[in-house]
Structure 1
Amino acid sequence: FPYEYQDMNAVIKKWEGKDPIFILLDGVEDVRNLGAIVRTAECAGAACVLLPNHKSSPVTAAAMKTAAGAFAYLPVCRIGNIQQTLKYLKEKGFWVVGTDMDGESLYYEANLKGPLVIVMGAEGKGMSPLTRRMCDLCVRIPMKGKVSSLNVSVAAALLLYEAVKQRN
């Protein structure tokens, strides 16, 4: 199944002087979650989705179907080492915000303006400890019910649209 991944540096160059939102998926393995996140990211006006080469769902036909056409408009970039990629993006002026059940602040209280990388962790496990250490800030979503977490695509949607709201 051929999908043409985009070059992250080309995306950075295209968004120079603007405040892009990148979504980095740390270990998201369910192709339907990938498709749902790409669909929401495209709808929210994000710049791209970053997919690590290892321990990450590739773009598949099922992901494409779930995304309802969004892969045609939103660049998805394959990346190597997550820590090196985040270090590089920080050098380019990006702020890295991770999502974690033990995050220091609530997602809607965090400053999500400016060039931003939103890091979403794996289903069940969350972000790796190494990735968490690379984040400038970790935010949490308040849980009021008996279930302790949201689906990763739903959590990504909340963060994306909070960042969009703060920019408007």
Structure 2
Amino acid sequence: MNYEELKIEGRNAVLEAFRSGKTIDKLFVLDGCKDGPVQTILREAKKHDTIVNFVAKERLDQLSETKKHQGVIAMAAAYTYATVEDILQNAKDKGEAPFIILLDNIEDPHNLGAIIRTANLAGAHGVIIPKRRAVGLTGTVAKTSAGAINYTPVAKVTNLTNTIKELKEEGLWFVCADMGGTTMYDLDLKGPIGLVIGSEGEGVSKLVKENCDFVASIPMKGDIDSLNASVAAGVLAYEILRQRG
């Protein structure tokens, strides 16, 4: 992944980044390092629910650009994350029923960037991504979004299933994209809606799928059986846009 401009290296710099409220997506720490400053950084990481990877010195040296990492390298988000409330507020401000795109297991930054771009153009009020097993807002994502990242809020949540349950209480209903669902043209996709897209490899995880109200499939006429995740998101988002009319 392309994290170039987002690497923060060295103990003071990393600690400062945490304390200034910067979103740290991932922390790499020298395995077995027990000294004070590193323990302080680990406490901050725990407080912020940051994913920590304990790695060998070779891995840190390989990641490091300054070659002065002192046993810690943090990967910071290029952009500030929004909250789920911000996304709902965005819909309210526009006087529209909420339309949110939720991504399960999307690890490719190009896919995430393309989906944020589509979300913006199809009138979605925001994108929700999980903290784990997913790419964050890296420089590559920002670039691929073609500027949409500046307008479309992206929220990062600890648990996608819980977020879906909470949004159901706000009146949203959920449709996930998957093979073997109801053809999207036969579904009523109007009203407050959450569109759930999974990764190409794994699709939407079982638990998330079980919490969706409908499964929508995209008609396929070719010889292969699946679309790229960002294309699938685009096709469905535009069907939602058409129906919301």
Given the two structures, how large is their TM-score scaled by the length of structure 2? 0.66
CA contact (8 A) 1:29 1:123 kept: no
Structure 2 residue 176 is the aligned partner of structure 1 residue 106:
no
Letter in 1 for 2:191: G
Give the unaligned 5+ runs of structure 2.
1-5, 7-77
List structure 1 segments (4+ residues) > 4 angstroms apart after TM superposition.
none
CA contact (8 A) 1:25 1:50 kept: yes
1:35 pairs, out of 113, 126, 129, with 113
Distance 2:86 2:137 in 1: 19
Which position in structure 2 is the counterpart of 1:69?
A: 147
2:79 aligned counterpart, secondary structure: coil
Which position in structure 2 is the counterpart of 1:140?
A: 217
Given the two structures, how large is their TM-score scaled by the length of structure 1? 0.96
Distance 1:108 1:31 in 2: 29
Letter in 1 for 2:85: N
Answer with 1 or 2: which has the greater Rg. Answer: 2
1:19 pairs, out of 97, 105, 108, with 97
2:230 aligned counterpart, secondary structure: helix
1:113 aligned counterpart, secondary structure: coil
Aligned residues: 167
Give the unaligned 5+ runs of structure 1.
none
Structure 1 residue 15: deviation in Å?
2.1
Distance 1:10 1:63 in 2: 20
Deviations 1:84-131 (A, max 9, x none): 00000001000100010121x101211111111000011211000101
Instruction: Compare relative contact order (CA 8 Å, sep 6+) and give the higher one, 1 or 2.
Output: 1
Deviations 1:3-24 (A, max 9, x none): 1000111221342362121000
Instruction: Please give the root-mean-square deviation of Cα atoms over the aligned residues, in Å.
Output: 1.0
1:5 pairs, out of 54, 63, 81, with 81
